[in-house]
Protein backbone atom coordinates (compact mmCIF):
# COMPACT_ATOMS: atom_id res chain seq x y z
CA UNK A 1 0.00 0.00 0.00
CA UNK A 2 1.32 3.44 -0.82
CA UNK A 3 1.79 5.94 2.01
CA UNK A 4 -0.93 8.52 1.99
CA UNK A 5 0.41 11.95 0.99
CA UNK A 6 -2.60 14.21 0.91
CA UNK A 7 -4.62 13.48 4.02
CA UNK A 8 -4.14 15.89 6.86
CA UNK A 9 -5.77 13.62 9.41
CA UNK A 10 -3.36 12.16 11.93
CA UNK A 11 -4.18 9.18 14.11
CA UNK A 12 -1.39 10.02 16.54
CA UNK A 13 -3.46 12.33 18.71
CA UNK A 14 -4.32 10.19 21.74
CA UNK A 15 -5.90 13.12 23.56
CA UNK A 16 -8.68 13.12 20.96
CA UNK A 17 -8.67 9.32 20.69
CA UNK A 18 -9.42 8.81 24.38
CA UNK A 19 -11.52 11.93 25.03
CA UNK A 20 -14.48 9.81 26.05
CA UNK A 21 -12.45 7.89 28.65
CA UNK A 22 -11.95 9.15 32.20
CA UNK A 23 -8.55 8.46 33.74
CA UNK A 24 -9.94 5.55 35.72
CA UNK A 25 -11.50 4.08 32.54
CA UNK A 26 -8.15 4.45 30.83
CA UNK A 27 -6.32 2.64 33.62
CA UNK A 28 -8.88 -0.12 33.46
CA UNK A 29 -8.36 -0.50 29.71
CA UNK A 30 -4.60 -0.50 30.33
CA UNK A 31 -4.80 -3.48 32.68
CA UNK A 32 -7.23 -5.25 30.41
CA UNK A 33 -5.04 -5.00 27.31
CA UNK A 34 -2.03 -5.94 29.41
CA UNK A 35 -3.77 -9.14 30.50
CA UNK A 36 -5.06 -9.78 27.01
CA UNK A 37 -1.46 -9.51 25.74
CA UNK A 38 -0.59 -12.59 27.78
CA UNK A 39 -0.67 -15.54 25.35
CA UNK A 40 -0.90 -18.25 28.00
CA UNK A 41 -3.89 -16.62 29.65
CA UNK A 42 -5.62 -16.01 26.32
CA UNK A 43 -5.07 -19.58 25.15
CA UNK A 44 -6.48 -20.99 28.37
CA UNK A 45 -9.18 -18.31 28.70
CA UNK A 46 -11.98 -19.73 26.53
CA UNK A 47 -11.84 -23.14 28.23
CA UNK A 48 -11.64 -21.62 31.71
CA UNK A 49 -14.59 -19.33 30.98
CA UNK A 50 -16.80 -22.15 29.71
CA UNK A 51 -15.83 -24.26 32.70
CA UNK A 52 -16.57 -21.42 35.11
CA UNK A 53 -20.03 -20.89 33.60
CA UNK A 54 -20.63 -24.63 33.69
CA UNK A 55 -19.79 -24.69 37.42
CA UNK A 56 -22.03 -21.66 37.88
CA UNK A 57 -19.17 -19.69 39.41
CA UNK A 58 -20.09 -16.03 39.91
CA UNK A 59 -17.85 -14.74 37.13
CA UNK A 60 -20.48 -12.82 35.20
CA UNK A 61 -19.85 -9.58 37.05
CA UNK A 62 -16.09 -9.90 36.58
CA UNK A 63 -16.52 -10.34 32.84
CA UNK A 64 -19.14 -7.61 32.67
CA UNK A 65 -16.86 -5.07 34.35
CA UNK A 66 -13.83 -5.94 32.26
CA UNK A 67 -13.82 -7.32 28.71
CA UNK A 68 -17.57 -6.91 28.26
CA UNK A 69 -17.40 -3.24 29.25
CA UNK A 70 -14.47 -2.69 26.86
CA UNK A 71 -16.05 -4.31 23.79
CA UNK A 72 -19.84 -4.26 24.36
CA UNK A 73 -22.45 -1.58 24.93
CA UNK A 74 -24.63 -3.50 27.37
CA UNK A 75 -26.78 -6.57 27.82
CA UNK A 76 -29.82 -4.92 26.27
CA UNK A 77 -30.66 -2.00 24.01
CA UNK A 78 -31.63 0.09 27.04
CA UNK A 79 -28.28 -0.58 28.68
CA UNK A 80 -26.53 0.66 25.52
CA UNK A 81 -28.20 4.07 25.54
CA UNK A 82 -25.67 5.75 27.84
CA UNK A 83 -22.77 4.51 25.73
CA UNK A 84 -24.47 5.72 22.53
CA UNK A 85 -24.78 9.20 24.06
CA UNK A 86 -21.20 9.23 25.25
CA UNK A 87 -19.94 8.46 21.71
CA UNK A 88 -22.35 10.96 20.17
CA UNK A 89 -20.80 13.77 22.23
CA UNK A 90 -17.74 13.36 20.03
CA UNK A 91 -19.66 12.89 16.74
CA UNK A 92 -19.10 9.15 16.77
CA UNK A 93 -22.26 7.31 15.78
CA UNK A 94 -23.46 3.81 16.66
CA UNK A 95 -24.67 0.61 15.00
CA UNK A 96 -26.35 -1.66 17.53
CA UNK A 97 -25.13 -5.17 16.83
CA UNK A 98 -27.04 -7.95 18.57
CA UNK A 99 -24.09 -10.31 18.97
CA UNK A 100 -25.63 -13.50 20.23
CA UNK A 101 -24.13 -16.43 18.31
CA UNK A 102 -24.61 -20.16 17.94
CA UNK A 103 -28.40 -20.36 18.37
CA UNK A 104 -30.14 -22.91 16.17
CA UNK A 105 -33.87 -23.16 16.91
CA UNK A 106 -36.75 -21.54 15.03
CA UNK A 107 -37.78 -19.74 18.24
CA UNK A 108 -34.33 -18.23 18.61
CA UNK A 109 -34.20 -17.15 14.95
CA UNK A 110 -37.55 -15.38 15.42
CA UNK A 111 -36.32 -13.78 18.64
CA UNK A 112 -33.19 -12.54 16.87
CA UNK A 113 -35.24 -11.12 13.98
CA UNK A 114 -37.45 -9.30 16.49
CA UNK A 115 -34.41 -7.95 18.31
CA UNK A 116 -33.04 -6.56 15.04
CA UNK A 117 -36.38 -4.93 14.37
CA UNK A 118 -36.07 -3.21 17.77
CA UNK A 119 -32.65 -1.82 16.79
CA UNK A 120 -34.18 -0.42 13.58
CA UNK A 121 -37.03 1.15 15.55
CA UNK A 122 -34.58 2.78 17.93
CA UNK A 123 -32.48 4.05 15.01
CA UNK A 124 -35.50 5.67 13.32
CA UNK A 125 -34.96 9.41 13.18
CA UNK A 126 -31.96 9.21 15.53
CA UNK A 127 -28.93 10.68 13.78
CA UNK A 128 -26.66 9.00 16.32
CA UNK A 129 -27.70 5.56 15.01
CA UNK A 130 -27.50 5.72 11.22
CA UNK A 131 -27.45 1.96 10.54
CA UNK A 132 -28.69 -1.38 11.79
CA UNK A 133 -27.01 -4.72 11.10
CA UNK A 134 -27.61 -8.45 11.07
CA UNK A 135 -25.86 -11.73 10.47
CA UNK A 136 -27.84 -14.15 8.30
CA UNK A 137 -26.50 -17.06 10.40
CA UNK A 138 -28.45 -15.56 13.31
CA UNK A 139 -31.66 -16.14 11.35
CA UNK A 140 -31.18 -19.67 9.96
CA UNK A 141 -29.21 -22.88 10.43
CA UNK A 142 -25.69 -22.89 9.02
CA UNK A 143 -26.31 -26.30 7.42
CA UNK A 144 -29.25 -24.89 5.51
CA UNK A 145 -27.27 -21.86 4.31
CA UNK A 146 -24.48 -24.20 3.26
CA UNK A 147 -26.82 -26.37 1.20
CA UNK A 148 -28.37 -23.36 -0.50
CA UNK A 149 -24.92 -21.90 -1.17
CA UNK A 150 -23.79 -25.13 -2.83
CA UNK A 151 -26.96 -25.46 -4.93
CA UNK A 152 -27.86 -28.76 -3.25
CA UNK A 153 -31.53 -29.61 -3.73
CA UNK A 154 -33.57 -28.96 -0.59
CA UNK A 155 -36.16 -31.40 0.73
CA UNK A 156 -39.68 -30.16 1.52
CA UNK A 157 -38.89 -29.27 5.14
CA UNK A 158 -35.76 -27.44 4.14
CA UNK A 159 -37.66 -25.53 1.47
CA UNK A 160 -40.09 -24.37 4.18
CA UNK A 161 -37.18 -23.48 6.45
CA UNK A 162 -35.54 -21.46 3.69
CA UNK A 163 -38.87 -19.76 3.03
CA UNK A 164 -38.94 -18.71 6.69
CA UNK A 165 -35.43 -17.29 6.42
CA UNK A 166 -36.41 -15.27 3.36
CA UNK A 167 -39.46 -13.99 5.26
CA UNK A 168 -37.29 -12.91 8.21
CA UNK A 169 -34.80 -11.11 5.96
CA UNK A 170 -37.60 -9.42 4.04
CA UNK A 171 -39.37 -8.45 7.26
CA UNK A 172 -36.17 -6.78 8.54
CA UNK A 173 -35.32 -5.01 5.27
CA UNK A 174 -38.90 -3.84 4.77
CA UNK A 175 -38.85 -2.34 8.27
CA UNK A 176 -35.52 -0.65 7.53
CA UNK A 177 -36.96 0.75 4.31
CA UNK A 178 -40.20 1.93 5.95
CA UNK A 179 -38.33 3.67 8.77
CA UNK A 180 -35.54 4.93 6.50
CA UNK A 181 -32.75 3.23 8.44
CA UNK A 182 -29.85 1.78 6.44
CA UNK A 183 -29.04 -1.85 7.17
CA UNK A 184 -25.83 -3.87 6.80
CA UNK A 185 -25.85 -7.58 6.06
CA UNK A 186 -22.59 -8.94 7.47
CA UNK A 187 -20.38 -11.26 5.42
CA UNK A 188 -19.62 -14.70 6.84
CA UNK A 189 -17.82 -17.94 5.93
CA UNK A 190 -17.41 -18.54 2.18
CA UNK A 191 -19.39 -21.80 2.31
CA UNK A 192 -22.54 -19.93 3.32
CA UNK A 193 -21.81 -16.64 1.57
CA UNK A 194 -23.47 -17.42 -1.80
CA UNK A 195 -26.83 -17.70 -0.05
CA UNK A 196 -26.16 -14.43 1.82
CA UNK A 197 -25.06 -12.63 -1.37
CA UNK A 198 -28.19 -13.76 -3.21
CA UNK A 199 -30.45 -12.62 -0.38
CA UNK A 200 -28.61 -9.30 -0.10
CA UNK A 201 -28.80 -8.71 -3.85
CA UNK A 202 -32.51 -9.41 -3.98
CA UNK A 203 -33.08 -7.04 -1.03
CA UNK A 204 -31.01 -4.29 -2.68
CA UNK A 205 -32.97 -4.76 -5.90
CA UNK A 206 -36.20 -4.35 -3.93
CA UNK A 207 -35.34 -1.55 -1.53
CA UNK A 208 -32.45 0.46 -3.02
CA UNK A 209 -34.30 2.19 -5.84
CA UNK A 210 -33.76 5.73 -4.64
CA UNK A 211 -30.75 5.29 -2.37
CA UNK A 212 -28.83 2.54 -0.59
CA UNK A 213 -30.89 1.18 2.29
CA UNK A 214 -29.58 -2.40 2.22
CA UNK A 215 -25.80 -2.96 2.20
CA UNK A 216 -24.05 -6.21 1.35
CA UNK A 217 -20.52 -6.85 2.73
CA UNK A 218 -17.46 -7.70 0.65
CA UNK A 219 -14.47 -9.50 2.20
CA UNK A 220 -11.42 -8.50 0.21
CA UNK A 221 -9.31 -11.35 1.65
CA UNK A 222 -11.14 -13.45 -0.92
CA UNK A 223 -9.43 -13.38 -4.32
CA UNK A 224 -12.78 -13.51 -6.16
CA UNK A 225 -14.30 -10.36 -4.62
CA UNK A 226 -13.03 -7.81 -7.14
CA UNK A 227 -14.84 -9.72 -9.88
CA UNK A 228 -17.88 -9.98 -7.59
CA UNK A 229 -17.76 -6.22 -6.96
CA UNK A 230 -17.77 -5.49 -10.69
CA UNK A 231 -20.60 -7.98 -11.23
CA UNK A 232 -22.61 -6.42 -8.38
CA UNK A 233 -22.16 -3.01 -9.99
CA UNK A 234 -23.23 -4.32 -13.41
CA UNK A 235 -26.31 -5.93 -11.80
CA UNK A 236 -27.19 -2.67 -10.08
CA UNK A 237 -26.78 -0.76 -13.36
CA UNK A 238 -28.98 -3.25 -15.22
CA UNK A 239 -31.55 -3.45 -12.45
CA UNK A 240 -31.50 0.32 -11.91
CA UNK A 241 -30.91 0.22 -8.17
CA UNK A 242 -28.22 1.62 -5.85
CA UNK A 243 -25.49 -0.55 -4.44
CA UNK A 244 -24.79 -0.43 -0.71
CA UNK A 245 -21.45 -1.99 0.23
CA UNK A 246 -19.52 -2.48 3.42
CA UNK A 247 -15.91 -3.19 2.49
CA UNK A 248 -13.92 -5.32 4.96
CA UNK A 249 -10.86 -7.55 4.74
CA UNK A 250 -12.53 -10.57 6.34
CA UNK A 251 -12.66 -12.24 9.73
CA UNK A 252 -12.43 -15.98 9.10
CA UNK A 253 -9.07 -16.44 7.38
CA UNK A 254 -7.68 -19.33 9.46
CA UNK A 255 -10.98 -21.19 9.45
CA UNK A 256 -11.26 -20.76 5.66
CA UNK A 257 -7.75 -22.02 5.01
CA UNK A 258 -8.10 -24.97 7.39
CA UNK A 259 -11.37 -26.12 5.86
CA UNK A 260 -10.06 -25.80 2.31
CA UNK A 261 -7.06 -27.91 3.22
CA UNK A 262 -9.11 -30.47 5.13
CA UNK A 263 -11.62 -30.95 2.31
CA UNK A 264 -9.04 -30.60 -0.48
CA UNK A 265 -10.35 -27.61 -2.44
CA UNK A 266 -8.41 -24.47 -3.35
CA UNK A 267 -8.57 -21.80 -0.67
CA UNK A 268 -10.80 -18.81 -1.37
CA UNK A 269 -8.31 -16.61 0.52
CA UNK A 270 -5.67 -14.46 -1.19
CA UNK A 271 -2.14 -15.83 -1.25
CA UNK A 272 -0.82 -13.09 1.04
CA UNK A 273 -1.68 -9.92 2.95
CA UNK A 274 -0.30 -7.66 0.20
CA UNK A 275 -2.78 -9.09 -2.31
CA UNK A 276 -5.58 -8.60 0.20
CA UNK A 277 -4.52 -4.97 0.82
CA UNK A 278 -4.26 -4.33 -2.92
CA UNK A 279 -7.81 -5.56 -3.52
CA UNK A 280 -9.04 -3.61 -0.48
CA UNK A 281 -7.56 -0.41 -1.98
CA UNK A 282 -9.04 -1.30 -5.36
CA UNK A 283 -12.51 -1.81 -3.88
CA UNK A 284 -12.47 1.56 -2.09
CA UNK A 285 -11.31 3.34 -5.26
CA UNK A 286 -13.90 1.50 -7.37
CA UNK A 287 -16.72 2.49 -5.01
CA UNK A 288 -15.60 6.11 -4.92
CA UNK A 289 -15.27 6.21 -8.71
CA UNK A 290 -18.87 4.99 -8.95
CA UNK A 291 -20.20 7.06 -6.08
CA UNK A 292 -23.31 8.06 -8.04
CA UNK A 293 -24.43 4.46 -7.81
CA UNK A 294 -22.53 3.08 -4.80
CA UNK A 295 -22.72 4.01 -1.11
CA UNK A 296 -19.92 2.54 0.96
CA UNK A 297 -18.72 1.93 4.45
CA UNK A 298 -15.06 1.06 5.09
CA UNK A 299 -15.14 -1.38 8.02
CA UNK A 300 -11.48 -1.34 8.97
CA UNK A 301 -8.97 -0.75 11.75
CA UNK A 302 -6.22 -0.19 9.22
CA UNK A 303 -4.83 3.35 9.35
CA UNK A 304 -3.50 3.33 5.76
CA UNK A 305 -6.84 2.20 4.36
CA UNK A 306 -8.61 4.95 6.28
CA UNK A 307 -6.14 7.58 5.04
CA UNK A 308 -6.48 6.18 1.55
CA UNK A 309 -10.24 6.67 1.66
CA UNK A 310 -9.80 10.25 2.88
CA UNK A 311 -7.54 10.95 -0.11
CA UNK A 312 -9.99 9.33 -2.52
CA UNK A 313 -12.77 11.52 -1.15
CA UNK A 314 -10.66 14.64 -1.58
CA UNK A 315 -9.58 13.73 -5.11
CA UNK A 316 -13.23 13.26 -6.07
CA UNK A 317 -14.53 16.35 -4.28
CA UNK A 318 -16.70 14.33 -1.95
CA UNK A 319 -17.64 16.22 1.19
CA UNK A 320 -16.43 14.77 4.50
CA UNK A 321 -19.99 14.33 5.74
CA UNK A 322 -21.42 12.95 2.49
CA UNK A 323 -23.83 10.27 3.70
CA UNK A 324 -22.65 7.90 0.96
CA UNK A 325 -19.29 7.40 2.68
CA UNK A 326 -18.79 6.03 6.20
CA UNK A 327 -15.84 4.81 8.23
CA UNK A 328 -16.51 2.12 10.80
CA UNK A 329 -14.66 0.44 13.66
CA UNK A 330 -15.65 -1.90 16.46
CA UNK A 331 -16.43 -0.57 19.93
CA UNK A 332 -13.39 -0.69 22.20
CA UNK A 333 -10.94 -0.86 19.30
CA UNK A 334 -9.06 1.69 17.22
CA UNK A 335 -10.54 4.71 18.95
CA UNK A 336 -7.53 6.64 17.63
CA UNK A 337 -8.99 6.19 14.13
CA UNK A 338 -12.66 6.70 15.02
CA UNK A 339 -12.31 9.75 17.25
CA UNK A 340 -9.69 11.53 15.12
CA UNK A 341 -11.78 11.04 11.97
CA UNK A 342 -14.95 12.21 13.71
CA UNK A 343 -13.08 15.21 15.12
CA UNK A 344 -12.26 16.24 11.54
CA UNK A 345 -15.89 15.92 10.44
CA UNK A 346 -15.95 12.52 8.70
CA UNK A 347 -18.86 10.11 9.15
CA UNK A 348 -17.80 7.54 11.73
CA UNK A 349 -19.91 4.77 13.15
CA UNK A 350 -18.94 2.19 15.77
CA UNK A 351 -20.33 -1.34 15.82
CA UNK A 352 -21.73 -1.63 19.35
CA UNK A 353 -22.21 -5.32 20.17
CA UNK A 354 -24.72 -6.13 22.87
CA UNK A 355 -26.53 -9.11 24.38
CA UNK A 356 -26.50 -11.23 27.56
CA UNK A 357 -22.91 -11.69 28.82
CA UNK A 358 -22.92 -15.47 28.49
CA UNK A 359 -24.28 -15.38 24.95
CA UNK A 360 -21.81 -12.81 23.61
CA UNK A 361 -18.82 -14.76 24.98
CA UNK A 362 -17.78 -16.15 21.54
CA UNK A 363 -17.64 -12.55 20.26
CA UNK A 364 -15.61 -11.42 23.28
CA UNK A 365 -13.18 -14.31 22.93
CA UNK A 366 -12.53 -13.35 19.28
CA UNK A 367 -11.78 -9.75 20.29
CA UNK A 368 -9.42 -10.91 23.01
CA UNK A 369 -7.59 -13.28 20.64
CA UNK A 370 -7.21 -10.49 18.10
CA UNK A 371 -5.40 -8.40 20.70
CA UNK A 372 -3.01 -11.07 21.92
CA UNK A 373 0.62 -10.03 21.61
CA UNK A 374 2.51 -11.29 18.58
CA UNK A 375 5.94 -12.59 19.62
CA UNK A 376 5.92 -10.55 22.81
CA UNK A 377 5.30 -7.19 21.14
CA UNK A 378 3.10 -4.64 22.86
CA UNK A 379 -0.18 -4.56 20.95
CA UNK A 380 -1.25 -1.40 19.16
CA UNK A 381 -4.19 -0.70 21.49
CA UNK A 382 -1.93 -1.03 24.54
CA UNK A 383 0.77 1.24 23.06
CA UNK A 384 -1.81 3.96 22.43
CA UNK A 385 -3.19 3.67 25.95
CA UNK A 386 0.33 3.91 27.39
CA UNK A 387 1.00 7.02 25.29
CA UNK A 388 -2.16 8.67 26.62
CA UNK A 389 -1.37 7.63 30.22
CA UNK A 390 2.01 9.31 29.90
CA UNK A 391 0.41 12.43 28.40
CA UNK A 392 -2.07 12.63 31.29
CA UNK A 393 0.67 11.68 33.78
CA UNK A 394 -1.53 9.08 35.43
C1 LIG B 1 -17.02 -2.13 11.36
C2 LIG B 1 -16.51 -3.49 10.98
C3 LIG B 1 -17.37 -4.40 10.41
C4 LIG B 1 -16.91 -5.68 10.07
N5 LIG B 1 -17.76 -6.56 9.45
C6 LIG B 1 -17.29 -7.76 9.03
C7 LIG B 1 -18.10 -8.67 8.30
O8 LIG B 1 -19.27 -8.41 8.03
N9 LIG B 1 -17.55 -9.85 7.91
C10 LIG B 1 -16.24 -10.19 8.17
O11 LIG B 1 -15.78 -11.25 7.75
N12 LIG B 1 -15.46 -9.34 8.87
C13 LIG B 1 -15.94 -8.15 9.30
N14 LIG B 1 -15.11 -7.29 9.98
C15 LIG B 1 -13.75 -7.74 10.39
C16 LIG B 1 -12.76 -7.45 9.29
O17 LIG B 1 -13.07 -8.29 8.19
C18 LIG B 1 -11.29 -7.70 9.67
O19 LIG B 1 -11.15 -8.99 10.18
C20 LIG B 1 -10.73 -6.78 10.69
O21 LIG B 1 -11.28 -5.51 10.60
C22 LIG B 1 -9.21 -6.67 10.49
O23 LIG B 1 -8.89 -6.09 9.23
P24 LIG B 1 -8.48 -4.57 9.09
O25 LIG B 1 -8.87 -4.05 7.75
O26 LIG B 1 -9.06 -3.84 10.21
O27 LIG B 1 -6.91 -4.48 9.30
P28 LIG B 1 -5.58 -5.22 9.00
O29 LIG B 1 -5.00 -5.45 10.34
O30 LIG B 1 -4.80 -4.43 8.03
O31 LIG B 1 -5.88 -6.58 8.32
C32 LIG B 1 -5.99 -7.81 8.96
C33 LIG B 1 -6.81 -8.64 8.01
O34 LIG B 1 -6.11 -8.83 6.79
C35 LIG B 1 -6.38 -10.10 6.25
N36 LIG B 1 -5.13 -10.85 6.18
C37 LIG B 1 -4.19 -10.95 7.14
N38 LIG B 1 -3.16 -11.73 6.73
C39 LIG B 1 -3.49 -12.17 5.50
C40 LIG B 1 -2.85 -13.03 4.57
N41 LIG B 1 -1.69 -13.60 4.84
N42 LIG B 1 -3.47 -13.26 3.40
C43 LIG B 1 -4.65 -12.68 3.10
N44 LIG B 1 -5.31 -11.86 3.96
C45 LIG B 1 -4.73 -11.59 5.12
C46 LIG B 1 -7.38 -10.74 7.19
O47 LIG B 1 -8.65 -10.46 6.72
C48 LIG B 1 -7.13 -10.03 8.51
O49 LIG B 1 -8.26 -10.03 9.35
C50 LIG B 1 -15.56 -6.02 10.32
C51 LIG B 1 -14.70 -5.10 10.88
C52 LIG B 1 -15.15 -3.84 11.22
C53 LIG B 1 -14.19 -2.87 11.83
Ligand 1 atom nearest the C-alpha of 135 is 8
User: What pLDDT, on a 0 to 100 scale, did the predictor assign at position 7?
Assistant: 60
Query: Which of 187, 299, 303, 335, when mutated, tests ligand 1's pocket best, judged by the most ligand atoms within 8 Å of its CB?
Result: 299
Ligand 1 atom nearest the C-alpha of 271 is 42
User: What pLDDT, on a 0 to 100 scale, did the predictor assign at position 376?
Assistant: 58
| Of 41 and 342, the one with more pLDDT | 342
Q: Are 141 and 104 in contact (CB under 8 A)?
A: yes
CA-nearest residue, atom 16 of ligand 1: 250
pLDDT of 195 strictly over 90: yes
Ligand 1 atom nearest the C-alpha of 95 is 1
289 sits in the region (left: phi over 0; alpha: psi -120 to 50; else beta) called alpha
- For a pLDDT cut of 90, what percent of the chain falls above it? 82
CA-nearest residue, atom 52 of ligand 1: 299
Ligand 1 atom nearest the C-alpha of 301 is 26
Q: Are 11 and 303 in contact (CB under 8 A)?
A: yes
Residue among 95, 130, 90, 84 at smallest CA distance from 344: 90
Q: Are 357 and 70 in contact (CB under 8 A)?
A: no
- Any alpha helices (H) in the chain, and if so which ranges? 14-17, 23-36, 39-54, 60-63, 69-71, 77-88, 106-123, 142-149, 156-178, 190-207, 225-239, 253-263, 273-289, 303-315, 335-343, 361-370, 380-392
Q: Helix (H, G, I), strand (E, B), or coil: what is residue 60? A: helix
> Rounded mean pLDDT of the chain?
93
Residue among 338, 350, 366, 240 at smallest CA distance from 293: 240
pLDDT in tens, 46-90: 777 777 777 777 788 889 999 999 999 999 999 999 999 999 999
User: What pLDDT, on a 0 to 100 scale, did the predictor assign at position 2?
Assistant: 47
Predicted TM-score (pTM) of this structure: 0.95
Least-confidence region, from 28-32, 116-120, 374-378: 374-378
Instruction: Report the alpha-carbon distance of residue 56 to residue 255 in Å, rounded.
Output: 31
Instruction: Tell me the CA distances in angstroms from 33 to 22, 112, 214, 216, 306, one per residue in order.
Output: 16, 31, 35, 32, 24
Mean pLDDT score, 150-155: 98
- Any alpha helices (H) in 180-270, and if so which ranges? 190-207, 225-239, 253-263
Residue among 334, 286, 297, 352 at smallest CA distance from 69: 352
Residues with CB under 6 A from ligand 1: 186-187, 217, 219, 221, 248-253, 269-270, 272-273, 276, 299-302, 305, 328-330, 351
pLDDT in tens, 295-335: 999 999 999 999 999 999 999 999 999 999 999 999 999 99
User: What pLDDT, on a 0 to 100 scale, did the predictor assign at position 366?
Assistant: 85
Amino acid sequence: MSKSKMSKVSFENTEIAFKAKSSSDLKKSYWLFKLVGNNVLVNLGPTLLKFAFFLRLPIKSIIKNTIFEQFCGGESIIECKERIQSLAKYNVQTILDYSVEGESSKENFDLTANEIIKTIELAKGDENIPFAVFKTSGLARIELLEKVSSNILLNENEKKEFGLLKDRVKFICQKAYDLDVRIFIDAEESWIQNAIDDLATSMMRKYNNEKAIVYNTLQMYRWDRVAFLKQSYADAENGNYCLGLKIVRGAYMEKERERAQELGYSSPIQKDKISCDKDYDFALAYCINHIDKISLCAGTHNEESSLNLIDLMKENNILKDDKRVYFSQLLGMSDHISFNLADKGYNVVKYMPYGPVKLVLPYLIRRVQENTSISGQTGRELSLIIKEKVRRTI
